[in-house]
Amino acid sequence: MSDLKVVVVEDSDLVRAHIVNVLRAAPGFQVVGEARDGRTGVELCERLRPDVVTLDMMMPEMNGLQATEHIMAHCPTPILIVSASVNRGEMFKTYDALQAGAVEVMEKPNGHEAPGAWEQKLVATVKLVSRIAVITHPRAKLEGRPRAPQPLPERPQPKVAPRRHSLVVVGASTGGPNALAEVFRGLPRDFPLPILFVLHIGEPFARSFADWLSQRIRQPVRMAMHGELVPPPGKSVVVMAPANRHLLVRGGRLWLSDEPERHGCRPAVDVLFESVSREYGSRAIAVLLTGMGRDGAAGMLAIRRAGGVTLAQDRGTSVVFGMPKEAIECGGAERVVPLPEMAAALSKLTGP
């Protein structure tokens, strides 16, 4: 099997050298190009056709978002964003890049990691990203199109009281930021059920993702707070599990837990889904979106066995058909739904 060809695009000479040295020291990798600005990175990608590009966000000449848009429009390549951005606006560009076709994001080393931990994560993430089939995103070819996606125009929706359902829970991982935004953008402003969701994303990205999402959908978005009441039916709100803490429902309240990881994840989708199966049973709707691994499958099966409705994203629209596939194969998914149809499926379940 041939080595994975990687182009490293990073304006910091120190960080770029570290990424290059880590990948060159790992078996199965070949760093075929380096760039310190986005424009040169795009040129290398077009000329060398690598298997993966690691990409910084804040660079001279062309930033990471602009480079992502160009690469995905003209020479689609799996992109791993490696970012140290803490500024809110810079973080938003990271999520815009994910929406433009970048596959995954990880933080630059900050000096507080255990020896070798960041390096091991980099190698594993580049391998993961290399296995993902990407498609052309024509955004950069469309003249005059705004950089940030705009909310869909408001459509008249009849106001209806929820029937038997009281709560929607959603889980996602790799490819999740874009998938979540697409599903939630398709819901009407007066969608009658609260939504809780788990996304496998670490700090410092989690909190800024909630802020980014709130500017792109009709419902308010916020982080879950320990011990707060579960929002009641009729209240349109989207609540996100914070980074590195499990979210669960018990006794009508939201609880945050530091219990051990499940499937290597905290927060874990299974923890939320299993608690909802016990608390809500047939009144729950569960959605499992794109992601690597099997987190969420057991929890979705528990909700289905309790009488709730369970929807899994289909293979064709998933960035990674891992989590949905596991849920389908274990019998946890009642329906398999393409991503563009997921919002309409949820609206129909809560309609008259």
Q: How many whole angstroms separate alpha carbon 205 and alpha carbon 212?
A: 10
* Phi-psi map region of 102: left, alpha, beta (phi>0 left; psi -120 to 50 alpha): beta
Paired tokens of 1: 């099997």
* pLDDT tens per residue across span 242-295: 999 999 999 999 999 999 999 999 999 999 999 999 999 999 999 999 999 999
Looking at per-residue confidence, does 208 or 287 come out higher?
A: 287
How many other CB atoms are found less than 10 A from the CB of residue 302? 22
Residue 319 contacts residue 203 (beta carbons within 8 Å): no
Question: Which residue carries 């990687």 as its tokens?
Answer: 6
pLDDT of residue 74: 92
* pLDDT tens per residue across span 127-178: 999 999 887 765 444 333 333 344 434 444 444 334 489 999 999 999 999 9
Paired tokens of 49: 């056709």
Q: How many whole angstroms separate alpha carbon 222 and alpha carbon 255?
A: 15
pLDDT of residue 168: 98
* pLDDT tens per residue across span 10-59: 999 999 999 999 999 999 999 999 999 999 999 999 999 999 999 999 99
pLDDT of residue 255: 98
What is the crossing angle of helices 88-99 and 64-74, to 10°? 10
Catalytic residues: 173, 200, 295
pLDDT (average), residues 320-325:
95
pLDDT of residue 145: 38
